[in-house]
Amino acid sequence: MNYNWDWSVLFCFVEDPVSSCTQPFFYWIVSGFGWTISVAAAAWVIAFSLGSVIGVLRTVENPYLRGFATVYVTIFRNIPLLVQMFLWFFVFPELLPDEAGKWVKRGMPLPEFWTAVVCLGTYTASRVGEQVRAGIEAITQGQRYAAMAMGLRPVQVYRYILLPVSYRIIIPPLTSDFLGVFKNSSLALTIGVLELTAQTRQIEEYTFQGFEAFTAATLLYIVVTAIVMAVMRVVEGRVVIPGMISLGAK
């Protein structure tokens, strides 16, 4: 391959006119990685809490609440994330009253970051919601009856019976969704969050040494995924219900 590998672009610390080194681009990658983690983590908080609510609402009896949740899932899951990112960034502020729109665009701290977080969070919430719903539906009707028959109120039935069991069942797909948030956070670059992928692109444009940067990014993704999977396996082991062979086998 006619490519001039030069790993020093990532690690050199002296400005050197002969090699491509103008600054240690390694720092860029570290900073990008930091933003990636921040976006993913903050978005996951939204996705998990909002998704749980949506998932629960999809299983309640009230047709209006159920309808609302269904519409939510339908919209957020059927529009590409990239497009949603654009809509949140450019269209959403225009729909607000003037003052509020201005605040969203300029007033609030880190507008790009929070826009990306909200977009990614609400998008992933539709996924999580579907998982939670599936988890709840996998629990037999009898469990719900038993909980109600003891006098638990609907919220208590979810809080103490349905959700704890449901979360255990859906740990594997939730892990996938979490990794999804992590990977999808790269789309935040389209609205100017300088996360990992954005930084590798910057390095590429500055130095034309893209392969080095991409390799570093790829390795980081793989390492993080491996860590997350390992952690989730431990979590799964921790919450396993004694005597049950496998809850998720349904």
Among 39, 50, 54, 194, binds another protein (CB under 8 A): 194
Q: If DSSP states are collapsed to H, E and C, what string results for 85-132?
A: HHHHHHHHHHHCCHHHHHHHHHHCCCHHHHHHHHHHHHHHHHHHHHHH
Piece of 38-46, 48-56, 62-70, 71-79 that binds another protein (CB under 8 A): 71-79
Measured CA to CA, the distance from residue 33 to residue 141 in angstroms comes to 45
Q: Does 60 bind another protein (CB under 8 A)?
A: no
CA–chain centroid gap for 177, Å, is: 7
| Contact status: 192 vs another protein (CB under 8 A) | yes
How many other CB atoms are there within 10 angstroms of residue 85's CB atom? Answer: 22
Stretch of 38-46, 47-55, 62-70, 73-81 lying at the interface with another protein (CB under 8 A) = 73-81
Assess 236 for contact with another protein (CB under 8 A).
Answer: no
Residue of 12, 161, 171, 174 interacting with another protein (CB under 8 A): 161
- Of residues 165, 195, 181, 179, the one with CA closest to residue 230: 179
- Residue 2 CB, shortest distance to another protein, in Å, is 5
Q: Taking each helix axis as running N to C, give the angle between helix 210-239 and helix 171-184, from 0 to 180 degrees, rounded to the nearest 10.
A: 160
By CB under 8 A, residue 249 contacts another protein: yes
Q: Which is nearer to another protein, 22 or 49 (CB)?
A: 22
> x-or-dash pattern for another protein, window 104-143, by CB under 8 A?
-xx----xx-----------------x---------x-xx
Q: Binding of another protein at residue 16 (CB under 8 A)?
A: no
- Environment class of 68 (CB within 10 Å of its CB; exposed 0-12, middle 13-18, buried 19+): middle
67 binds another protein per the rule CB under 8 A: no
Residues 137, 141, 143: CA angle, nearest 5 degrees = 105
Interface pick for another protein out of 38, 56, 158, 201 (rule CB under 8 A): 201
The smaller minimum CB distance to another protein, of residues 13 and 145, is found at 145
